[in-house]
Amino acid sequence: MLNNECQKLGPESFFEMLIRAVNKNSSESSSANRYPDELKNLCLYLFLTSGRLAYETLVANIPNGLPSVSTLSRSLSKNYEKCGEGELAFGQLKEFLEKRNYPLRIFISEDQTAIVRRPRYDQSTNQLVGYVLTNLEHTGFPKTNQNLINSVSNIKNIIENSDLAKNAYVFMAQPLQDGAAAFCLTLFGSNNTFTHEDVLLRWKYIQQETTNYNIVVDGISSDGDSRCLKAMKIIAGLPAFSKQETPYSPYFQANFDINNLVPMQDTVHIATKMKNRLLNEKIVLKMGNYEVSKDHLTDLINTVSKDKHLLCLSYLDSSDKMNFEAIDKLSSTRVISLLTSDVCKATRQLLVLTRYILDSYLDKSLSIEERVYLIWYVTLFLRLWRAWIKEQSNYTLAKNWLTLNTYTCIELNAHGYMILIEKFRSNPEFVLPWIYSSQPCEKFFRQTRSMTSTWSTVVNFDMLDLLRRRHRIQAINSIINDSGDKFVFPRERNKKLGANLRNKETFIPPTEELRNVIIKARDDAVNDCKILGIDMLENQWEAALTEVSIPKQDDSDHTDSNFLLQSNVTSTALQDEAEQLSETQLTANEEDIQDINKDEEILQNFTSLDIKDLSGCKTDISDISLIKIKINDKEMVVKKSTLCWLFFKRKGRLSSDRLIRCKAMSGPTSSSKKRTSGINQKIGKKCVNNRVKNTENLKTQKTQQKKKSENISDSETSVSDSLSVHSEFENETFSEDDDSEISSEYATKAGILEGS
C-alpha cells in the first residue's frame, strides 16, 4: 500500500527521500549530513512558507532527516541573489531563463500596491529606504544608490526633502512557456505621480536592454491604469489614424506591426469592472428594449435552490470591487442558462459578454478559432451597442453604458491577440493568452503579504520588507516550478492564470479562416442586437462595426506610436549616466563622513542625546552601520538607524483591510486627503457603534474611538476588517469613469469589525 502511494508521487517521493536521508546521515556526525537537492528545495519551500518556528519543530522531531536552517540560508543566498531598489536584473533574468531551458522570450507586466509609509535604514546597502527616488531622464526608472547615508546631514536632508513612497511598483517578466514561473525584474517606491511618458520611456529602456541579452520582449500588460492605458493606445495606434489595409480589415483598426511590443490588458480586471458596472445602482444599462439589473440575479438567488446556480447574495455586494470569484460565478453557464425570462435578456447578455471575455483568454481548452470568435463577438457587439446608445436622445454613454476604460481594454485585447497570432505563426507554442496579463504582479503581492511567521497576522509591509522578501518569493516560485513533477503544491493552483487542461494543438489556422471567424462573430453580434431591440438604419450597421469609439490622442502622441523600435540614446550611454550619478553621490558622501563639523550644526539644538553610545563597546568603528557624532564637545558612536528614528517625526500606517487599503493609493491631493479623513472618521464611529451596541460603557468607548480617529494619518486608516474576502487583488486602480467613489454606506459596511 505504501509503495503504491509513493509511486504516485514520481520516481522518488518525499517520504522515500526522507527515509534514505535519515538512514545515510545516522551513521555520520551532524556536520557531515548531506541531502539531495530535491529534498533541500522542498525544505526551503516549507521554511519560507511556514516560517522558522514550524520548520524548526519538524527538524527537531526528524533527526538527520531535514537540513538545518543555516543550511537552507546558505542555499538561499547562493542560488537567489538579492537586488537593490530600482535595480533592473537583466543578467539574472537571462540566467533564470537559460537554467530552466525557457525560451528567451518574455511578456512584461507591471503593477503597484500600497505599502506602509516609513523610512528604514538598510545596512546591507548603507541606504535610507522608503523614499521616492528621482528618475533618470532617459529611462524613466529611478536612480540607484541615491539615498546613501554617510553623515548626519545625509539623513536630515533625505528626510526633509524627499517624499515617502506610498506604493511599491513592480515589473515582472513572464517567460512564454505554460506553467513557467515569473521573474521579478525590478521594484521601487512610488508616489503614483508618474505620467504616460514615463511609462513609454520605461518600456523603451527594457526593450533596449533585453536586446543586449538576446531576450525578446513580445508584449506588455497592465491592469487598466489610465497612464499605462494611454501609452498602450499610442503604441497600438488605436484607433488607427490612417485606414491601413490589414489581413483583418475593416474591423481591425490598430497598427498591424508584428515587430513592435504588443500591449494587452489584464482579463481578470476587465471582468471585475464589468461586474462593478452591473452592480452599480446609479447606472442604468439599456440594451434596446431591455435593461440590465442586479435585481434579476437577486430574484434568481431567492427563488431557485443554491445547488442549481451556486450563488450567494454576497456576490451582489458592490463594495468589494476586486472580487473576481463573484463575477466568475455570476457569469457561469449555470447562471446564464437559468436566466430564461424575457425581462432578463439584457442581464443575460451582459453576463454572456463577461463569460466570453474570461474564456477567450483563461480557458486553456479552447482552440485559437474559438478564442478569436469569443473576443471579437464581444468587441463588435460593444461597438454596435455604443453606436445605438449615442443615437438615443434620452441615454448617455456615461450613465447607460460601460466605462471607456473597460471598453478600451477590450479593444486592445482583441487587436493584440490577432497581432500575436500572426507574430507567432512559426512558433505556435507561444500563443498562450492566459499569461498575457498582470496576474504575475498580483501573485507577487499576495505572496509578499502572506510571507510572515506562523503566528503572525501582519499583512502589510514597508519598502525594505518588500526588498528583503523579493528573493525569497523568487525562490518559492522557482522551487514550485522546478519541482512540480516531483512534489505536489496544492495551494499554488490559480484559476486566474488559466483554467482546464490545455489544448495541445500547435496549429494556427490560415489568416483567411480567422477572418471568416471574425465575420461569423459579426453576423451573430448583429443578430443578437436585433433580438434585444438594438436597431439602426441599414447603412448604419457597417459604419458602427468599423468604428472604434475611442478618443484619439494628440498629434504629438501619434508621432511616437512606433518609437519603441527607435533609439537615439545607446544603452551604454544610459548605463554610464546612471553609474556617474551613483559615483557622484558616493563621492560626496565619503567627504561628508570625514567632516564631523558639518554635523555639529545639525545637532547643535541637542544639549544631550539619550541614546545608546557605543563608544565604550567592543565595536568596529569601520562598521558601515555606525557613525561618529559630536555634541557639546562630546563624541559618540551611534547606529545610523537610531539617527533615522530620531529625525523622522511621522509614523505611517496602513489598514489591514484590503478594501480600505486600496483606497489609500490615490494621488496625493488635498481634496482627497480631506475626503479620506472624513471617511475614516465615519468608519471609526461606525465600528464603535457596532462593537458596543449592547454594552453599558457606550459613552466611554466613543470617546476612546474619537481620540483614536484623530491619530489616523491623512491617506491611511488604522481600521481593520475581519470580513471574509475571497478575491486577493492587491491594487486595483479605477479611472474616473469607473465610479469608484466611496459612499458612506460602503464605508459603514467596510468597517463593521475591527481586527485584533
Q: pLDDT digits over 176-219, tens only?
A: 999 899 999 999 999 999 999 999 999 999 999 999 999 999 99
- pLDDT for position 596: 44
- Mean pLDDT along residues 384-408: 94
Between these two residues, 601 and 371, which has the higher pLDDT value?
A: 371
What is the per-residue pLDDT across 251-261, written as a single tens digit (0 to 9) for each?
Answer: 998 989 899 99
Contact of 413 with 267, CB cutoff 8 Å: yes
* Cis peptide bond prior to 175, omega within 30° of 0: no
HSE-CB for 535 with a 13 A CA cutoff: 6
Whole-prediction pTM value? 0.80
pLDDT at 556 over 50: no
> Is the distance from CB of 560 to CB of 203 less than 8 angstroms?
no
Select, from the ranges 351-360, 619-628, 635-644, 648-657, the one with the highest average predicted confidence (pLDDT).
351-360
Parallel, antiparallel, or unpaired: how do β-strands 216-222 and 262-265 relate? parallel
> How far is it, in rounded angstroms, from Cα 229 to Cα 246?
23
Residues 6+ apart with CB under 8 A from 402: 273, 274, 277, 285, 382
Placement of cell 554617510 in the chain: 150
Residue holding cell 456615461? 398
The torsion of the CA quartet 226, 227, 229, 230, rounded to 10 degrees, works out to: 110
Report the distance separating Cα 383 and Cα 547, nearest Å: 7
Q: What is the pLDDT of residues 586-600, one digit of tens each?
A: 443 444 434 444 565
**How far apart, in Å, do the first and last CA atoms of the chain sit?**
46
Confidence band, pLDDT 50/70/90 cuts, at residue 578: very low
Q: Who wins on pLDDT, 169 or 240?
A: 169
Give the model's confidence band at 574: pLDDT under 50 very low, under 70 low, under 90 confident, else very high: very low
Please provide residue 83's backbone torsions phi and psi, each rounded to the nearest 5 degrees: -130, 145
Q: What is the pLDDT of residue 703?
A: 47
CA dist 322 and 222 (Å) reads 15
Mean pLDDT within 455-465? 82
**Which segments of 392-456 does DSSP mark as H helices, in order?**
397-400, 404-423, 439-450
Q: Return the C-alpha cell found at 545.
A: 462595426
Confidence band for 604, pLDDT divided at 50, 70 and 90 = low
Record the cell numbers describing residue 381, joined without a space. 457587439
pLDDT exceeds 60 at position 7: no
pLDDT score at 149: 87
Average pLDDT estimate for 547-565: 57
Spatial contact of 171 and 181, defined as CB atoms under 8 Å apart: no
Q: How many Cα atoms within 13 Å fall on the side-chain side of residue 195?
A: 3
At a CB cut-off of 8 Å and minimum separation 6, what does 23 contact?
none
